[in-house]
Structure 1
Amino acid sequence: MTVAERDLALLTEAARAAGEVAMRYWKNAPKAWDKADSSPVTEADLACNDLIMGILRRARPDYGWLSEETPDDTTRLRTEHQFIVDPIDGTRAFIAGEKHFSHSLAVAHNGKITAAVVYLPALDKLYTATEFGPALRDGQPITCSRKSLADQPNILTSKTALDPQNWPNGVPQFQRSFRASLAYRLCLVADGSFDGMITFMDAWEWDIAAGSLIAARAGAKVTDRDGLALDFNAPAAQSAGTFACAPLLHDDLISLLQ
Protein backbone atom coordinates (compact mmCIF):
# COMPACT_ATOMS: atom_id res chain seq x y z
CA MET A 1 0.00 0.00 0.00
CA THR A 2 1.39 3.41 -0.98
CA VAL A 3 1.65 6.41 1.35
CA ALA A 4 -1.28 8.03 -0.47
CA GLU A 5 -3.41 4.91 -0.08
CA ARG A 6 -2.66 4.76 3.64
CA ASP A 7 -3.49 8.44 3.94
CA LEU A 8 -6.74 7.88 2.06
CA ALA A 9 -7.80 5.15 4.49
CA LEU A 10 -7.09 7.50 7.38
CA LEU A 11 -9.00 10.39 5.79
CA THR A 12 -11.96 8.11 5.14
CA GLU A 13 -12.01 6.97 8.77
CA ALA A 14 -11.97 10.58 9.96
CA ALA A 15 -14.62 11.74 7.49
CA ARG A 16 -17.06 9.00 8.46
CA ALA A 17 -16.50 9.70 12.15
CA ALA A 18 -17.15 13.40 11.53
CA GLY A 19 -20.33 12.46 9.71
CA GLU A 20 -21.65 10.74 12.83
CA VAL A 21 -20.97 13.89 14.85
CA ALA A 22 -22.52 16.22 12.27
CA MET A 23 -25.69 14.18 12.02
CA ARG A 24 -26.27 14.54 15.76
CA TYR A 25 -26.46 18.32 15.28
CA TRP A 26 -28.18 18.42 11.87
CA LYS A 27 -31.82 19.54 12.08
CA ASN A 28 -31.33 19.85 15.84
CA ALA A 29 -30.96 23.65 16.11
CA PRO A 30 -27.16 23.81 16.55
CA LYS A 31 -25.76 27.01 18.02
CA ALA A 32 -24.58 29.24 15.15
CA TRP A 33 -22.89 32.62 14.83
CA ASP A 34 -20.99 34.72 12.31
CA LYS A 35 -17.20 34.85 12.22
CA ALA A 36 -15.21 38.04 11.66
CA ASP A 37 -15.50 37.62 7.88
CA SER A 38 -19.32 37.30 8.22
CA SER A 39 -19.29 33.61 7.25
CA PRO A 40 -21.38 31.34 9.49
CA VAL A 41 -20.05 28.72 11.85
CA THR A 42 -21.82 26.33 14.20
CA GLU A 43 -20.96 24.25 17.21
CA ALA A 44 -21.06 21.28 14.84
CA ASP A 45 -18.25 22.76 12.69
CA LEU A 46 -16.05 23.04 15.76
CA ALA A 47 -16.94 19.59 17.09
CA CYS A 48 -16.16 18.02 13.72
CA ASN A 49 -12.92 19.97 13.48
CA ASP A 50 -11.78 18.77 16.89
CA LEU A 51 -12.63 15.16 16.08
CA ILE A 52 -10.96 15.18 12.65
CA MET A 53 -7.86 16.90 13.98
CA GLY A 54 -7.57 14.39 16.81
CA ILE A 55 -7.80 11.38 14.49
CA LEU A 56 -5.48 12.74 11.80
CA ARG A 57 -2.79 14.35 13.92
CA ARG A 58 -2.49 11.43 16.30
CA ALA A 59 -1.81 9.20 13.30
CA ARG A 60 0.47 11.67 11.43
CA PRO A 61 2.02 14.07 13.97
CA ASP A 62 4.62 15.22 11.43
CA TYR A 63 2.01 16.45 8.94
CA GLY A 64 1.15 20.14 8.82
CA TRP A 65 -2.41 21.29 9.51
CA LEU A 66 -4.66 23.73 7.65
CA SER A 67 -8.34 23.93 8.52
CA GLU A 68 -11.07 26.54 8.18
CA GLU A 69 -11.84 26.24 11.89
CA THR A 70 -8.29 26.34 13.29
CA PRO A 71 -6.13 29.50 13.47
CA ASP A 72 -3.46 29.14 10.80
CA ASP A 73 -0.07 28.03 12.03
CA THR A 74 2.65 28.88 9.52
CA THR A 75 4.76 25.96 10.68
CA ARG A 76 2.74 24.00 8.07
CA LEU A 77 4.83 25.77 5.42
CA ARG A 78 7.90 23.90 6.65
CA THR A 79 6.35 20.42 6.61
CA GLU A 80 6.59 17.86 3.82
CA HIS A 81 2.93 16.78 4.02
CA GLN A 82 -0.12 18.71 5.14
CA PHE A 83 -3.72 17.93 6.04
CA ILE A 84 -6.13 20.41 4.43
CA VAL A 85 -9.58 20.19 5.99
CA ASP A 86 -12.98 21.82 5.89
CA PRO A 87 -14.89 20.20 8.78
CA ILE A 88 -18.24 21.19 7.29
CA ASP A 89 -18.31 22.66 3.79
CA GLY A 90 -21.70 24.21 3.10
CA THR A 91 -22.41 25.45 6.62
CA ARG A 92 -25.35 27.56 5.44
CA ALA A 93 -26.96 24.45 3.95
CA PHE A 94 -26.25 22.58 7.18
CA ILE A 95 -27.94 25.29 9.25
CA ALA A 96 -30.93 25.27 6.90
CA GLY A 97 -31.35 21.52 7.31
CA GLU A 98 -30.40 20.82 3.69
CA LYS A 99 -28.58 17.64 2.69
CA HIS A 100 -25.82 19.07 0.51
CA PHE A 101 -23.13 19.74 3.11
CA SER A 102 -19.90 17.79 3.22
CA HIS A 103 -16.70 16.98 5.07
CA SER A 104 -13.70 17.78 2.87
CA LEU A 105 -10.36 16.20 3.82
CA ALA A 106 -7.13 16.11 1.81
CA VAL A 107 -3.39 15.55 2.06
CA ALA A 108 -0.97 17.76 0.15
CA HIS A 109 2.66 16.98 -0.72
CA ASN A 110 4.94 19.48 -2.44
CA GLY A 111 1.97 21.66 -3.34
CA LYS A 112 -0.12 18.88 -4.89
CA ILE A 113 -3.02 16.92 -3.43
CA THR A 114 -2.18 13.23 -3.06
CA ALA A 115 -5.23 11.84 -1.21
CA ALA A 116 -8.76 13.21 -0.97
CA VAL A 117 -12.12 12.44 0.60
CA VAL A 118 -15.42 14.30 0.33
CA TYR A 119 -18.19 12.75 2.43
CA LEU A 120 -21.84 13.84 2.53
CA PRO A 121 -23.26 12.24 5.68
CA ALA A 122 -26.90 13.23 5.09
CA LEU A 123 -26.72 11.39 1.75
CA ASP A 124 -24.20 8.77 2.93
CA LYS A 125 -22.23 9.49 -0.23
CA LEU A 126 -18.44 9.11 -0.28
CA TYR A 127 -16.08 10.42 -2.97
CA THR A 128 -12.40 9.46 -2.88
CA ALA A 129 -9.21 9.65 -4.93
CA THR A 130 -5.45 9.31 -4.71
CA GLU A 131 -2.92 11.02 -6.93
CA PHE A 132 -2.46 7.99 -9.22
CA GLY A 133 -5.69 6.09 -8.60
CA PRO A 134 -9.20 6.41 -10.00
CA ALA A 135 -11.85 8.77 -8.69
CA LEU A 136 -14.50 6.77 -6.86
CA ARG A 137 -18.02 7.37 -5.59
CA ASP A 138 -19.02 4.82 -2.97
CA GLY A 139 -16.21 2.59 -4.24
CA GLN A 140 -17.21 2.70 -7.92
CA PRO A 141 -15.19 4.51 -10.63
CA ILE A 142 -16.59 7.79 -11.93
CA THR A 143 -15.77 9.95 -14.95
CA CYS A 144 -16.61 13.50 -15.93
CA SER A 145 -18.72 14.47 -18.93
CA ARG A 146 -17.29 15.18 -22.37
CA LYS A 147 -19.36 18.23 -23.30
CA SER A 148 -18.14 21.44 -24.87
CA LEU A 149 -19.72 24.89 -24.70
CA ALA A 150 -21.63 24.10 -27.88
CA ASP A 151 -23.41 21.21 -26.15
CA GLN A 152 -25.53 23.36 -23.82
CA PRO A 153 -23.61 22.34 -20.69
CA ASN A 154 -24.99 22.54 -17.18
CA ILE A 155 -22.51 24.40 -14.99
CA LEU A 156 -22.52 24.78 -11.22
CA THR A 157 -21.88 28.40 -10.33
CA SER A 158 -23.34 31.41 -8.55
CA LYS A 159 -25.33 34.16 -10.25
CA THR A 160 -22.43 36.58 -9.77
CA ALA A 161 -20.31 34.47 -12.14
CA LEU A 162 -22.55 35.62 -14.97
CA ASP A 163 -21.67 39.28 -14.43
CA PRO A 164 -20.53 40.68 -17.80
CA GLN A 165 -17.44 42.20 -16.17
CA ASN A 166 -16.13 38.65 -15.71
CA TRP A 167 -16.39 37.89 -19.43
CA PRO A 168 -14.59 40.47 -21.60
CA ASN A 169 -15.50 38.54 -24.76
CA GLY A 170 -19.17 38.08 -23.91
CA VAL A 171 -21.03 35.98 -21.34
CA PRO A 172 -21.21 32.35 -22.51
CA GLN A 173 -24.58 30.62 -22.75
CA PHE A 174 -25.10 27.62 -20.48
CA GLN A 175 -27.53 26.17 -17.97
CA ARG A 176 -26.75 27.30 -14.44
CA SER A 177 -27.21 25.24 -11.28
CA PHE A 178 -25.95 25.63 -7.74
CA ARG A 179 -24.99 23.63 -4.64
CA ALA A 180 -23.85 25.17 -1.36
CA SER A 181 -20.77 23.02 -0.84
CA LEU A 182 -17.89 23.89 -3.14
CA ALA A 183 -16.31 20.49 -2.46
CA TYR A 184 -19.54 18.77 -3.50
CA ARG A 185 -19.73 20.87 -6.68
CA LEU A 186 -16.32 19.53 -7.68
CA CYS A 187 -17.48 15.96 -7.01
CA LEU A 188 -20.64 16.47 -9.06
CA VAL A 189 -18.39 17.42 -11.97
CA ALA A 190 -16.29 14.32 -11.28
CA ASP A 191 -19.25 11.95 -11.51
CA GLY A 192 -20.71 13.59 -14.61
CA SER A 193 -23.85 14.93 -12.90
CA PHE A 194 -22.83 18.39 -14.13
CA ASP A 195 -20.45 19.42 -16.87
CA GLY A 196 -18.45 21.96 -14.92
CA MET A 197 -18.18 24.26 -11.94
CA ILE A 198 -16.68 27.72 -11.94
CA THR A 199 -16.00 30.39 -9.37
CA PHE A 200 -14.21 33.66 -10.05
CA MET A 201 -13.87 34.46 -6.36
CA ASP A 202 -10.65 33.54 -4.60
CA ALA A 203 -11.17 30.08 -3.13
CA TRP A 204 -9.85 28.88 0.20
CA GLU A 205 -7.72 25.77 -0.10
CA TRP A 206 -9.86 23.82 2.38
CA ASP A 207 -12.89 24.30 0.09
CA ILE A 208 -11.26 22.91 -3.04
CA ALA A 209 -8.32 20.69 -2.04
CA ALA A 210 -10.13 17.35 -1.85
CA GLY A 211 -12.65 17.99 -4.62
CA SER A 212 -10.03 19.24 -7.05
CA LEU A 213 -8.15 15.93 -6.99
CA ILE A 214 -11.35 13.89 -7.25
CA ALA A 215 -12.46 15.91 -10.28
CA ALA A 216 -9.03 15.71 -11.91
CA ARG A 217 -8.74 11.95 -11.44
CA ALA A 218 -12.21 11.63 -13.02
CA GLY A 219 -10.84 13.31 -16.15
CA ALA A 220 -11.90 16.90 -15.57
CA LYS A 221 -9.56 19.80 -16.23
CA VAL A 222 -9.05 21.77 -13.00
CA THR A 223 -7.30 25.14 -12.83
CA ASP A 224 -7.65 28.60 -11.37
CA ARG A 225 -9.62 31.27 -13.27
CA ASP A 226 -6.51 32.10 -15.32
CA GLY A 227 -6.12 28.52 -16.50
CA LEU A 228 -3.12 27.87 -14.26
CA ALA A 229 -2.56 24.73 -12.19
CA LEU A 230 -3.68 24.86 -8.58
CA ASP A 231 -0.96 24.94 -5.93
CA PHE A 232 -1.62 24.03 -2.29
CA ASN A 233 -0.12 24.84 1.10
CA ALA A 234 0.44 28.42 -0.06
CA PRO A 235 1.07 31.11 2.58
CA ALA A 236 -2.28 32.79 1.84
CA ALA A 237 -4.06 29.41 1.51
CA GLN A 238 -6.13 30.64 -1.45
CA SER A 239 -6.36 30.08 -5.19
CA ALA A 240 -7.37 32.65 -7.81
CA GLY A 241 -10.80 31.14 -8.37
CA THR A 242 -11.49 27.62 -9.60
CA PHE A 243 -12.57 26.20 -12.97
CA ALA A 244 -13.24 22.45 -13.03
CA CYS A 245 -14.92 21.24 -16.20
CA ALA A 246 -15.05 18.63 -18.91
CA PRO A 247 -11.79 19.23 -20.84
CA LEU A 248 -13.30 20.76 -23.99
CA LEU A 249 -15.68 22.92 -21.96
CA HIS A 250 -12.83 24.12 -19.78
CA ASP A 251 -10.81 25.21 -22.79
CA ASP A 252 -13.84 26.93 -24.33
CA LEU A 253 -14.49 28.95 -21.16
CA ILE A 254 -10.88 29.90 -20.52
CA SER A 255 -10.52 31.04 -24.14
CA LEU A 256 -13.34 33.54 -23.56
CA LEU A 257 -11.35 35.11 -20.75
CA GLN A 258 -8.23 35.79 -22.78
Structure 2
Amino acid sequence: MTNDHTLAAELATAAGELLLRTREEHAGIDPKELKDLGDRVSHDFLMAELATARPDDAVLSEEGADDHARLSAQRVWIVDPLDGTREFSEAERDDWAVHVALWQGGELVAGAVGRPARGVTYSSAESEPAKGAAGNPLRLAVSRSRPPEFVTRLADHLGADLVEMGSAGVKAMSVLDGIADAYVHAGGQYEWDSAAPVAVARAHGLHTSRIDGSELLYNNENPYLPDLVVCRPEVADAVLEGIRAVED
Protein backbone atom coordinates (compact mmCIF):
# COMPACT_ATOMS: atom_id res chain seq x y z
CA MET A 1 0.00 0.00 0.00
CA THR A 2 1.23 3.51 -0.82
CA ASN A 3 2.54 5.21 2.31
CA ASP A 4 0.87 8.37 3.57
CA HIS A 5 3.68 10.74 2.56
CA THR A 6 3.65 9.42 -0.99
CA LEU A 7 -0.14 9.43 -1.18
CA ALA A 8 -0.33 13.06 -0.05
CA ALA A 9 2.22 14.08 -2.69
CA GLU A 10 0.55 12.06 -5.45
CA LEU A 11 -2.86 13.55 -4.65
CA ALA A 12 -1.58 17.14 -4.47
CA THR A 13 0.22 16.66 -7.78
CA ALA A 14 -2.70 15.03 -9.57
CA ALA A 15 -5.23 17.57 -8.29
CA GLY A 16 -2.89 20.31 -9.49
CA GLU A 17 -2.66 18.80 -12.96
CA LEU A 18 -6.46 18.67 -13.06
CA LEU A 19 -6.61 22.33 -12.08
CA LEU A 20 -4.16 23.29 -14.82
CA ARG A 21 -6.33 21.53 -17.41
CA THR A 22 -9.45 23.17 -15.99
CA ARG A 23 -7.91 26.64 -16.20
CA GLU A 24 -6.76 26.04 -19.79
CA GLU A 25 -10.05 24.55 -20.97
CA HIS A 26 -12.13 27.36 -19.42
CA ALA A 27 -9.92 30.32 -20.25
CA GLY A 28 -11.98 33.44 -20.76
CA ILE A 29 -14.87 32.60 -18.44
CA ASP A 30 -15.82 34.93 -15.60
CA PRO A 31 -13.07 34.86 -12.91
CA LYS A 32 -15.57 34.05 -10.15
CA GLU A 33 -16.92 31.13 -12.16
CA LEU A 34 -13.38 29.88 -12.72
CA LYS A 35 -12.59 30.11 -9.00
CA ASP A 36 -15.73 28.15 -8.11
CA LEU A 37 -15.07 25.58 -10.82
CA GLY A 38 -11.49 25.06 -9.65
CA ASP A 39 -12.57 24.61 -6.04
CA ARG A 40 -15.24 22.11 -7.05
CA VAL A 41 -13.30 19.91 -9.46
CA SER A 42 -10.28 19.64 -7.16
CA HIS A 43 -12.44 18.91 -4.11
CA ASP A 44 -14.44 16.24 -5.92
CA PHE A 45 -11.25 14.61 -7.19
CA LEU A 46 -9.57 14.54 -3.78
CA MET A 47 -12.66 13.22 -2.01
CA ALA A 48 -13.06 10.40 -4.54
CA GLU A 49 -9.38 9.45 -4.42
CA LEU A 50 -9.24 9.45 -0.62
CA ALA A 51 -12.43 7.39 -0.43
CA THR A 52 -10.71 4.79 -2.59
CA ALA A 53 -7.21 4.91 -1.12
CA ARG A 54 -8.12 5.43 2.57
CA PRO A 55 -11.81 4.51 2.95
CA ASP A 56 -11.67 4.35 6.75
CA ASP A 57 -10.20 7.83 7.20
CA ALA A 58 -12.14 11.05 7.79
CA VAL A 59 -11.66 14.19 5.68
CA LEU A 60 -11.87 17.89 6.50
CA SER A 61 -11.95 19.95 3.30
CA GLU A 62 -12.47 23.66 2.85
CA GLU A 63 -15.01 22.90 0.15
CA GLY A 64 -16.94 20.12 1.92
CA ALA A 65 -19.50 19.93 4.70
CA ASP A 66 -17.80 19.44 8.05
CA ASP A 67 -18.67 15.97 9.37
CA HIS A 68 -17.98 16.09 13.10
CA ALA A 69 -17.43 12.34 13.06
CA ARG A 70 -13.85 13.38 12.35
CA LEU A 71 -13.53 14.46 16.00
CA SER A 72 -13.57 10.82 17.11
CA ALA A 73 -11.55 9.53 14.15
CA GLN A 74 -7.94 8.47 14.57
CA ARG A 75 -6.94 9.65 11.10
CA VAL A 76 -8.19 12.80 9.37
CA TRP A 77 -7.07 14.20 6.02
CA ILE A 78 -7.12 18.01 6.02
CA VAL A 79 -7.22 19.43 2.51
CA ASP A 80 -7.47 22.74 0.71
CA PRO A 81 -8.34 21.76 -2.85
CA LEU A 82 -7.30 25.17 -4.22
CA ASP A 83 -5.32 27.55 -2.06
CA GLY A 84 -5.24 30.93 -3.75
CA THR A 85 -8.35 31.06 -5.91
CA ARG A 86 -7.70 34.67 -6.87
CA GLU A 87 -4.28 33.79 -8.25
CA PHE A 88 -5.70 30.69 -9.99
CA SER A 89 -8.23 32.87 -11.80
CA GLU A 90 -5.47 35.02 -13.32
CA ALA A 91 -3.85 33.17 -16.23
CA GLU A 92 -0.38 34.66 -15.75
CA ARG A 93 -0.16 33.82 -12.04
CA ASP A 94 1.53 30.68 -10.72
CA ASP A 95 1.40 31.45 -6.97
CA TRP A 96 -1.49 29.12 -6.02
CA ALA A 97 -1.37 25.66 -4.50
CA VAL A 98 -3.05 22.41 -3.48
CA HIS A 99 -2.81 21.29 0.17
CA VAL A 100 -3.10 17.68 1.36
CA ALA A 101 -2.24 16.77 4.97
CA LEU A 102 -2.88 13.87 7.34
CA TRP A 103 -3.56 14.28 11.05
CA GLN A 104 -3.27 11.16 13.18
CA GLY A 105 -3.66 10.78 16.93
CA GLY A 106 -3.12 14.46 17.69
CA GLU A 107 -0.30 15.22 15.25
CA LEU A 108 0.25 16.11 11.63
CA VAL A 109 2.07 13.07 10.27
CA ALA A 110 2.20 13.69 6.51
CA GLY A 111 1.60 16.47 4.06
CA ALA A 112 2.21 17.86 0.61
CA VAL A 113 1.90 21.27 -1.01
CA GLY A 114 1.57 21.21 -4.78
CA ARG A 115 2.49 24.22 -6.91
CA PRO A 116 1.05 22.96 -10.19
CA ALA A 117 1.94 25.93 -12.37
CA ARG A 118 5.59 25.49 -11.32
CA GLY A 119 5.51 21.70 -11.65
CA VAL A 120 6.68 21.32 -8.04
CA THR A 121 5.25 19.37 -5.10
CA TYR A 122 6.77 19.82 -1.65
CA SER A 123 6.51 16.73 0.54
CA SER A 124 6.92 15.65 4.15
CA ALA A 125 8.74 12.59 2.80
CA GLU A 126 11.79 14.80 2.36
CA SER A 127 13.88 16.47 5.06
CA GLU A 128 16.38 18.81 3.43
CA PRO A 129 16.82 22.11 5.32
CA ALA A 130 15.75 25.42 3.82
CA LYS A 131 17.87 26.60 0.92
CA GLY A 132 20.43 29.35 1.33
CA ALA A 133 20.89 31.42 4.46
CA ALA A 134 18.84 33.97 6.38
CA GLY A 135 18.72 37.33 4.68
CA ASN A 136 20.19 40.52 6.05
CA PRO A 137 17.80 42.24 6.36
CA LEU A 138 15.27 39.51 7.05
CA ARG A 139 12.60 38.83 4.42
CA LEU A 140 8.94 38.38 5.35
CA ALA A 141 6.50 36.77 2.90
CA VAL A 142 3.27 38.77 2.52
CA SER A 143 0.24 38.93 0.27
CA ARG A 144 0.63 40.89 -2.98
CA SER A 145 -2.89 42.25 -2.79
CA ARG A 146 -3.39 42.99 0.89
CA PRO A 147 -0.28 43.06 3.13
CA PRO A 148 -1.65 43.02 6.71
CA GLU A 149 -0.92 46.06 8.83
CA PHE A 150 0.36 43.78 11.61
CA VAL A 151 3.09 42.31 9.39
CA THR A 152 3.99 45.77 8.10
CA ARG A 153 4.58 46.89 11.69
CA LEU A 154 6.59 43.71 12.36
CA ALA A 155 8.75 44.39 9.31
CA ASP A 156 9.39 47.94 10.49
CA HIS A 157 10.38 46.67 13.94
CA LEU A 158 12.74 44.03 12.53
CA GLY A 159 14.05 46.21 9.72
CA ALA A 160 12.85 43.46 7.38
CA ASP A 161 11.94 43.53 3.71
CA LEU A 162 8.50 42.42 2.51
CA VAL A 163 8.39 39.82 -0.26
CA GLU A 164 5.01 39.78 -2.00
CA MET A 165 3.37 36.60 -3.28
CA GLY A 166 0.04 34.78 -3.43
CA SER A 167 -1.44 31.89 -1.48
CA ALA A 168 -0.67 30.79 2.07
CA GLY A 169 0.96 27.58 0.88
CA VAL A 170 3.19 29.49 -1.52
CA LYS A 171 4.24 31.90 1.22
CA ALA A 172 5.08 29.07 3.62
CA MET A 173 7.05 27.17 0.98
CA SER A 174 8.95 30.34 0.06
CA VAL A 175 10.80 29.89 3.37
CA LEU A 176 11.83 26.39 2.32
CA ASP A 177 12.96 27.72 -1.06
CA GLY A 178 15.09 30.44 0.55
CA ILE A 179 13.03 33.24 -1.01
CA ALA A 180 11.78 34.44 2.39
CA ASP A 181 12.98 33.88 5.94
CA ALA A 182 9.57 33.90 7.62
CA TYR A 183 5.87 33.80 6.91
CA VAL A 184 3.83 35.43 9.68
CA HIS A 185 0.05 35.53 9.42
CA ALA A 186 -2.38 37.01 11.93
CA GLY A 187 -5.40 37.91 9.83
CA GLY A 188 -7.53 34.80 10.21
CA GLN A 189 -7.14 31.33 8.66
CA TYR A 190 -8.58 27.84 8.96
CA GLU A 191 -6.87 24.50 9.52
CA TRP A 192 -6.85 23.66 5.80
CA ASP A 193 -4.90 26.84 5.08
CA SER A 194 -1.91 25.76 7.15
CA ALA A 195 -2.03 21.99 7.84
CA ALA A 196 -0.16 20.81 4.75
CA PRO A 197 2.36 23.69 4.72
CA VAL A 198 3.07 23.10 8.41
CA ALA A 199 3.49 19.33 7.93
CA VAL A 200 5.98 19.94 5.13
CA ALA A 201 7.77 22.75 6.97
CA ARG A 202 8.23 20.62 10.09
CA ALA A 203 9.62 17.72 8.07
CA HIS A 204 12.27 20.08 6.68
CA GLY A 205 13.23 21.42 10.10
CA LEU A 206 11.51 24.80 9.95
CA HIS A 207 9.98 26.46 13.01
CA THR A 208 6.17 26.41 13.09
CA SER A 209 3.92 27.88 15.79
CA ARG A 210 1.12 30.28 16.64
CA ILE A 211 2.23 33.92 16.80
CA ASP A 212 2.48 33.63 20.61
CA GLY A 213 4.90 30.72 20.19
CA SER A 214 2.39 28.06 21.23
CA GLU A 215 1.80 24.84 19.32
CA LEU A 216 -0.42 24.64 16.26
CA LEU A 217 -3.18 22.11 16.98
CA TYR A 218 -5.39 20.48 14.35
CA ASN A 219 -8.66 18.58 14.04
CA ASN A 220 -10.42 20.86 16.48
CA GLU A 221 -14.21 21.11 16.67
CA ASN A 222 -13.93 24.66 15.33
CA PRO A 223 -11.37 24.55 12.50
CA TYR A 224 -10.64 28.28 12.76
CA LEU A 225 -6.89 28.66 13.33
CA PRO A 226 -6.27 32.36 12.87
CA ASP A 227 -2.52 32.86 13.09
CA LEU A 228 0.70 31.19 12.07
CA VAL A 229 4.48 31.50 12.00
CA VAL A 230 6.66 29.48 9.63
CA CYS A 231 10.29 30.52 9.63
CA ARG A 232 13.89 29.42 9.46
CA PRO A 233 14.82 28.00 12.89
CA GLU A 234 17.74 30.39 13.31
CA VAL A 235 15.47 33.44 13.11
CA ALA A 236 12.57 32.10 15.20
CA ASP A 237 13.58 33.84 18.43
CA ALA A 238 13.98 37.20 16.70
CA VAL A 239 10.66 36.87 14.86
CA LEU A 240 8.71 35.86 17.96
CA GLU A 241 10.34 38.64 20.00
CA GLY A 242 9.40 41.09 17.29
CA ILE A 243 5.79 39.87 17.33
CA ARG A 244 5.60 40.38 21.09
CA ALA A 245 7.04 43.87 20.73
CA VAL A 246 4.56 45.05 18.09
CA GLU A 247 1.63 43.51 19.95
CA ASP A 248 2.41 45.40 23.19
TMscore range, shorter length: 0.7 to 0.9
Residues 1:125 and 2:123 are matched in the alignment: no
User: 2:199 is matched with which residue?
Assistant: 213
User: 1:104 is matched with which residue?
Assistant: 99
Could you report, residue by residue, the CA deviation over 1:230-253 in whole angstroms, capped at 9, with x for unpaired residues? Answer: 111111112240111112322112
Residues 1:20 and 2:17 are matched in the alignment: yes
Q: Which runs of 5+ in 2 are unaligned?
A: none
Q: What is the rounded CA distance, in whole Å, between the counterparts of 2:173 and 2:103 in structure 1?
A: 18
CA separation of 1:69 and 1:30: change in aligned 2, threshold 3 A: farther
Q: How does 1:53-202 map to 2 (within 5 A)?
A: 53-97=47-91, 98-130=93-125, 134-135=126-127, 141-143=128-130, 146-147=133-134, 151-158=136-143, 159-162=147-150, 171-202=157-188
Is the CA contact 2:138–2:158 (under 8 Å) kept in the aligned structure 1? no
CA separation of 1:163 and 1:154: change in aligned 2, threshold 3 A: closer
How much has 1:12 moved relative to structure 2?
Answer: 2.2
Q: Secondary structure at the match of 1:92?
A: helix
Residues 1:231 and 2:217 are matched in the alignment: yes
How much has 1:91 moved relative to structure 2?
Answer: 0.6
User: 2:28 is matched with which residue?
Assistant: 29
Q: What is the rounded CA distance, in whole Å, between the counterparts of 1:188 and 1:212 in structure 2?
A: 13
CA separation of 1:44 and 1:80: change in aligned 2, threshold 3 A: same
Query: Greater CA deviation, 226-235 or 15-24?
Result: 15-24
User: 1:138 is matched with which residue?
Assistant: none
CA separation of 1:30 and 1:229: change in aligned 2, threshold 3 A: farther
How much has 1:61 moved relative to structure 2?
Answer: 1.6
Q: What is the rounded CA distance, in whole Å, between the counterparts of 1:12 and 1:154 in structure 2?
A: 28
How much has 1:146 moved relative to structure 2?
Answer: 4.8
Is the CA contact 1:11–1:106 (under 8 Å) kept in the aligned structure 2? yes
Q: Secondary structure at the match of 2:118?
A: coil
Percent identity, aligned pairs only, is 26
Residues 1:9 and 2:6 are matched in the alignment: yes
Q: Secondary structure at the match of 2:86?
A: helix
Q: What is the rounded CA distance, in whole Å, between the counterparts of 2:88 and 2:105 in structure 1?
A: 33
Q: What is the rounded CA distance, in whole Å, between the counterparts of 1:112 and 1:194 in structure 2?
A: 26
Q: Secondary structure at the match of 2:219?
A: coil
Q: Secondary structure at the match of 1:20?
A: helix
User: 1:50 is matched with which residue?
Assistant: 44
User: How many residue pairs get matched?
Assistant: 237
Is the CA contact 2:77–2:101 (under 8 Å) kept in the aligned structure 1? yes
Is the CA contact 2:151–2:184 (under 8 Å) kept in the aligned structure 1? no
Is the CA contact 2:130–2:232 (under 8 Å) kept in the aligned structure 1? no
Q: What is the rounded CA distance, in whole Å, between the counterparts of 1:15 and 1:61 in structure 2?
A: 18
- Choose between structure 1 and 2: higher helix proportion: 2
How much has 1:173 moved relative to structure 2?
Answer: 1.7
Name the amino acid aligned to 2:134: K
Is the CA contact 1:145–1:246 (under 8 Å) kept in the aligned structure 2? no
Q: Which runs of 5+ in 1 are unaligned?
A: 35-39, 136-140
Aligned-pair RMSD on alpha carbons? 2.3
**What is the TM-score of this pair, normalised by structure 1?**
0.83
CA separation of 1:26 and 1:142: change in aligned 2, threshold 3 A: farther
How much has 1:32 moved relative to structure 2?
Answer: 5.0
Is the CA contact 1:30–1:42 (under 8 Å) kept in the aligned structure 2? no
Q: What is the rounded CA distance, in whole Å, between the counterparts of 2:30 and 2:64 in structure 1?
A: 18
Is the CA contact 2:191–2:218 (under 8 Å) kept in the aligned structure 1? yes
